[in-house]
Amino acid sequence: MQLTHIHKLVGQIELVSGLHIGGSNTEMHIGGTDNPVIKNPVNNRPYIPGSSLKGKMRSLLEWCAGLVGATDGKPLGFRDVPRLTPDQQPTAKRLLKLFGGAPEGDPDLALIREIGPTRLAFWDCNLDPGWVAEMDGRNLLLTENKTENAIDRIRGVAEHPRNTERVPAGARFEFQLTIKVHDHEDLLDDLLIGLKLVELTGLGGSGSRGYGKLRFTGLTLAGADLQTRLDQLTLN
């Protein structure tokens, strides 16, 4: 197995609806937010962790491939491949190449050699400086607080109010990941399906309440247009 290329995929993530990826709140503030978003401790700006993107994309691809039942809900690992059906195994091997997996128990060394190292590296997505400048120029904050309530079905009154911090719709993040290519393999179709699934299902918490819808824009791979392929991709 030989490393033949390392490609960089770059573009932007644009929020279609408010995004909440939770962070810790170590201080108590009167009238503060119950659920803050994760922020860079250096500049206090929200960002999208690379781990959130990787985890969501991997989970969606495993569901799409019908692998979740075979793994008992756990992330796909090397231990799972031998008990998959012959039709499932090729997809499972491609996902392990893209996202990696821990050899557990008595590992199959031949399978480990066949899969090799993890191909994808996801980087944290920082806010686009241009969007930050736009918000500063309009004296607007980089996040919003959304108040939600539970409604008593009989009395019709709001109960248990809670405040959730979100990055507002329209925000733009810088997106990039790198792809290691071994022996001129082509795993791009699986990656594009993963990106499309994230667009269709959203990212972060409270997706069933309309949070986290996004779209990828301006995607290029090694300087070549990739956005057109993503836009034209349809999932059956």
pLDDT per residue over 197-232, tens digit each? 999 999 998 888 889 999 999 999 989 999 999 999
If one counts the domains in the chain, the total is 1
On the CB side of 77, CA atoms within 13 Å amount to 13
The pLDDT-based confidence of 103 (bands split at 50, 70, 90) is low
Residue 143 belongs to domain spanning: 3-232
Task: Calculate mean pLDDT across residues 15-31.
Answer: 70
For residue range 123-136, what is the model confidence (pLDDT) as tens digits? 999 999 999 999 99
Alpha-carbon span 93 to 137, nearest angstrom: 49
